[in-house]
Amino acid sequence: MSSQVAVEPAHGHPPGGLRGLVADWASDERAFHVSWGKAMMWIFLLSDTFVFSCFLVGYMTVRMSTTVPWPNLSEVFAIDVGGHPVPMLLIAIMTFTLITSSGTMAMAVNCAYRRDRLACAKLMFVTAWLGEVFVCMQAYEWTKLIVVEGIRPWGNPLGAAQFGSTFFMITGFHGFHVTCGVIYLLFIASKVLRGHYDLSGNYQPVEIAGLYWHFVDLVWVFIFALFYLW
């Protein structure tokens, strides 16, 4: 009568099958102490940095090489207050709104790691609301330029035609990022509010969302400096 003896795997022997595959792919987390989520977000932000850099360098190249006078930005981006045009007022409010949202997002991350679920969710909702206010002001700015000033991506009655194409491309691409960020923050905030991360004890998704939002704010600083102030 034959007997079968179960042989235990040696200590430290890597698991086989699907578990082994997962362990191999997750080995960098143990080697570099960085989660997959945070690493992928950093890679995405790095690639997005290249895209925005190409846009801004292209804008600077077009502006310096065009022979047609560039529009007077103080007049183009002025809004009427009490019957008097105030240069750059709307842009200043937009910038202040977005920078303020970066502060509320930083506080939300701090509350997340202190396990203050309610405060974290509230601050993330405030951040998303500020982002939505920014997008609404940008929509107003676009409407004014298109309807009142007659500026189009393919033409500009106030000066160089390249102004319209570069402006709508760069600010539109950034506005798309802000809109996606608002949706992203609302999704994560709703999970925080429901106590989803209390079960796992891992609030890192809030930090990862914060990385994206801070990146969007930082890009706007460069757009503000190179497009509106130059």
From the CB of residue 178, how many other CB atoms can be counted at a distance below 10 Å? Answer: 21
CA-closest candidate to residue 127, choices 90, 91, 93, 97: 97
**How would residue 5 be classed by pLDDT, with cut points 50, 70 and 90?**
very low
| Averaged pLDDT for residues 202-208 | 93
Instruction: Please check the confidence at residue 202 and state whether its pLDDT lies above 90.
Output: no
- Domain residue limits, the chain: 20-229
* Residue 33: per-residue pLDDT: 72
DSSP 5-24: -PPPPPTTPPP-HHHHHHHH
Residues 183 and 125: beta-carbon distance below 8 Å: no
* Residue 6: per-residue pLDDT: 44
Q: Tokens 């034959």 — which residue?
A: 2
Per-residue pLDDT tens over the stretch 113-139: 999 999 999 999 999 999 999 999 999
Per-residue pLDDT tens over the stretch 6-49: 444 444 555 667 777 666 665 655 555 778 889 999 999 999 99
* Residue 32: per-residue pLDDT: 59
CA-closest candidate to residue 78, choices 141, 172, 161: 141
Per-residue pLDDT tens over the stretch 99-114: 999 999 999 999 999 9
Instruction: Please check the confidence at residue 223 and state whether its pLDDT lies above 70.
Output: yes
**Whole-prediction pTM:** 0.85
Instruction: Please check the confidence at residue 4 and state whether its pLDDT lies above 50.
Output: no
Supply the CATH classification number for the domain 20-229: 1.20.120.80
Better-scored residue on pLDDT, 200 or 118: 118
Average pLDDT, the chain: 89
* Residue 192: per-residue pLDDT: 95
